[in-house]
Amino acid sequence: MIERSLRKEILAKYKPQKVWRGEPLLGSWYTEEEIEAVVKTIRASMDWEGEGFGFFSKEIADFEQAFAEYCGTEECIAISNAGVGLDMAVRALNLEPDDEVIVPAINFKASTLAVIGQGAKVIFCEVDPKTLCADPNDVEKRITPRTRAIIPTHMNGLSCDMDALLEIAERHPHPKYGPLRVIGDAARACGGEYKGTKIGKKGWMNIFSFHTQKNMTTLGEGGAITTDDLEIAKILRSYRHYGSEADTWGSNYRMTKVQAAVGLVQLKKLDKMIEMRRKVAEERTEMLQDIPELTLPYEPPGYKHTYYLYTILVPKEWAGEKRDRLIKILEQEYNVGCVVANPPVYEIPFIRRHTGNQTLPLSDELGKRIFCPPIHPLMTKEQNTYICAAIIEAVEKVREEK
């Protein structure tokens, strides 16, 4: 807790000149090493008799090998972004129209859209309110003979309980296809850990994002799929390049040579960047832990949260209007922007049209309680303290309002 007199001093001294985004548009950072890698790769690609920028260059192969080794998997398929990675993963299920895929409702929309895109049925599940990841108990209740897969999201940087979900998948096999597939959406969780493994190891496959906002980034876009299934890796590579490797349907989902060169540099720095994120998060938790209205991020034993976002919940009685008031005060009075990550996906009109009138009581409530203030590995102690002081002041103002 920051004392009131000190808060006033901090807020006067460190107020930013413009609003800080709740989800910064650059999640990592670049140094001269990334710039040099880009320039070197471009210069090496200028000979018209050579490979140019190539379809499958040494840089891409090296990045795939390095990322697979980092995650502890047999295979990594570098792709253009995580969205197409989810599309590819769901396509690989060969779904039929009545097949069902279970997806958390508190979530970004990408995994839901991937299922809709393949013409199958989305079944929403609740999340654990402590982790905001798919609740295994609720997942199990929603399994039917038509269930083909579970797509949990490693939410805001924290791994879901993959062991529990994999056990459920084994205990409820599909009558035709056997054990359910568990596909991890790791877009926000690159670098996180789960029970002695890196996120990306457990599950049929996991999909990562290297978008500009993410924990590591490859020139604004990029992604990867990790798996230990050698056969599915071959199929995914075929999807990535017009069906040329496994005589299947395909399109162009390739990562570029220059992106891969940058990815190799970013990957070397990833653990350091995660540790710096964690330090900011730990200091923030220490400053906010005594505010009774705030439920702060939870890290279960044996997990390593990356804190892609620092997710806070307001109390149930503040859900909706008072949460929104808190966010408004933070932005308008203190230039601290916040993002709500994420309200239930079924609130999006397009998705509701394709998923029926599914609603979940806990997800409805949580979606009105979540807010995420800015966090970044390069955030200074002064900046972090300013954000905490602003949050405490804003909470006190909402507390005093009728």
CATH number reported for the structural domain that contains residue 71 in this entry: 3.40.640.10
Strand partners, 207: 185, 225
- At 61, the amino acid letter reads A
Domain check: are 301 and 333 in the same one? yes
Reported as a pLDDT band with limits 50, 70 and 90, residue 246 is confident
- Residue-averaged pLDDT of the chain: 97
Domain check: are 239 and 118 in the same one? yes
Inform me whether the pLDDT recorded for 1 exceeds 80: no
Inform me whether the pLDDT recorded for 209 exceeds 90: yes
Burial 380-401, CB ≥16 within 10 A → b, else e: eeebbbbbbbbbbbbbeebeee
Domain check: are 203 and 143 in the same one? yes
CATH number at residue 340: 3.90.1150.10
What pLDDT is stored for residue 54 in this prediction? Answer: 82
Inform me whether the pLDDT recorded for 133 exceeds 90: yes
What pLDDT is stored for residue 245 in this prediction? Answer: 80
pLDDT above 70 covers what percent of the chain? 100
Domain check: are 235 and 149 in the same one? yes
Reported as a pLDDT band with limits 50, 70 and 90, residue 22 is very high
Reported as a pLDDT band with limits 50, 70 and 90, residue 130 is very high
Helix axes 257-288, 32-43, angle to 10 degrees: 170
Reported as a pLDDT band with limits 50, 70 and 90, residue 111 is very high
What pLDDT is stored for residue 55 in this prediction? Answer: 81
What pLDDT is stored for residue 247 in this prediction? Answer: 85
Using the 3D structure, point to which of 242, 265, 288 is the last residue of a domain: 265
Inform me whether the pLDDT recorded for 30 exceeds 80: yes
What pLDDT is stored for residue 56 in this prediction? Answer: 82
Domains identified in the chain, total number = 2
Domain check: are 11 and 142 in the same one? no
Main-chain phi, psi angles of 113, to 5 degrees: -65, -35
Domain check: are 53 and 151 in the same one? yes
Its domain, for residue 353, covers: 4-24+271-400
Helix axes 82-91, 230-240, angle to 10 degrees: 120
What pLDDT is stored for residue 43 in this prediction? Answer: 96
Domain check: are 215 and 108 in the same one? yes
Main-chain phi, psi angles of 121, to 5 degrees: -100, 130
What pLDDT is stored for residue 389 in this prediction? Answer: 98
Using the 3D structure, point to which of 265, 295, 330 is the last residue of a domain: 265
Domain check: are 53 and 129 in the same one? yes
Domain check: are 188 and 79 in the same one? yes
Cβ atoms of residues 376 and 313 within 8 Å? no
In tens, the pLDDT along 217-231 reads: 999 999 999 999 999
Domain check: are 305 and 249 in the same one? no
pLDDT above 90 covers what percent of the chain? 95
In tens, the pLDDT along 79-96 reads: 999 999 999 999 999 999
Domain check: are 106 and 234 in the same one? yes
List strand residue ranges (DSSP E) for 231-276, in order: none
Using the 3D structure, point to which of 217, 250, 265 is the last residue of a domain: 265
Looking at residues 251-277, what average pLDDT do you find?
98
Domain check: are 326 and 224 in the same one? no
